[in-house]
Amino acid sequence: MNPQNKILFAGDPHGDFKPLIAAVHKYKPEAVVLLGDYDLDMPLEICLQDIVGLTEIWWIAGNHDFETPSKHKNLFDSALADKGLHLKVTEIAGLKIAGLGGIFLGRVWYPPQQPKWKDKLHYLHNQPANLRHAAMSLKYKGAIWHDEFEALKALKADILVTHEAPGSHRHGFDVIGELAAAMGVKNIFHGHLHENYAGTVKKNIRVFGVADRAVADLMGNTLRVGR
Ligand SMILES: [Zn+2]
């Protein structure tokens, strides 16, 4: 196997997993990392049943995965629920991969503005008394929270996968490059913006945007899977 194909990265499937499944059959990676926005109308392991067992499957969530209770449940209550990479570093095919799912939300934290809330408890304690014990809404659950983001900086990783883009993209956020630099990351892979591109942030950290339904290898090359 070509070493640059040992991990493949999948851009936002939005319900179409065929290109990823075809790429796994063709390139036989040790692992795949999905970059969010699945729009699941059935559990994730059912959508990916053709490749479950052929490769390790890892994921972060995108904003769409918090849109409705059923999309959320089909990911977070799926048989692959424990393969989420959000807010931790996981060793995958010999590389340390850090994950940051979700998006920046104006009502929570929208860099470079200051965060609205110190953490989730701070937010919940400032809700009207009649809402205080209600579960946090999905939209807020899918947000990137400042305290959790900062905590990630204490960890070290080779690769950072995010749904949001870093400052390499005109719609990206500089804080993601700062996070990657603090973690000693060499490469960032992100989804969300439906664009294949390569860029750079900070200390020569390479950034690869992976378009919707596209699949990229470890060098950031978009793979041809006959779609
Ligand atoms: Zn998205």
The CATH number assigned to the domain holding 158 equals: 3.60.21.10
CB atoms within 10 A of CB 142: 22
Query: How far is C-alpha 151 from the geometric centre of its chain's CA atoms?
Result: 17
Do you know the residue count of the chain? 227
End-to-end CA distance of the chain: 22
How many Å lie between the centroid of ligand 1 and the Cα of residue 211? 11
CB atoms within 10 A of CB 56: 16
How many Å lie between the centroid of ligand 1 and the Cα of residue 89? 22
Q: What is the mean pLDDT of the chain?
A: 95
Give pLDDT tens digits for 29-75: 999 999 999 999 999 999 999 999 999 999 999 999 999 999 999 99
In a domain, 222, yes or no: no
In a domain, 46, yes or no: yes
Total domains present in the chain:
1
How many Å lie between the centroid of ligand 1 and the Cα of residue 129? 32
In a domain, 225, yes or no: no
In a domain, 60, yes or no: yes
What is the span of the domain harbouring residue 208?
A: 3-216
Confidence of residue 136 (pLDDT cuts 50, 70, 90): confident
How many Å lie between the centroid of ligand 1 and the Cα of residue 64? 6
pLDDT of 133 reads 64
How many Å lie between the centroid of ligand 1 and the Cα of residue 61? 9
In a domain, 15, yes or no: yes
How many Å lie between the centroid of ligand 1 and the Cα of residue 212? 9
In a domain, 226, yes or no: no
Confidence of residue 116 (pLDDT cuts 50, 70, 90): very high
pTM score: 0.96
In a domain, 221, yes or no: no
Amino acid letter for position 32: V
pLDDT (average), residues 189-201: 97
In a domain, 26, yes or no: yes
Provide the pairing of β-strand 205-209 with 215-216: unpaired
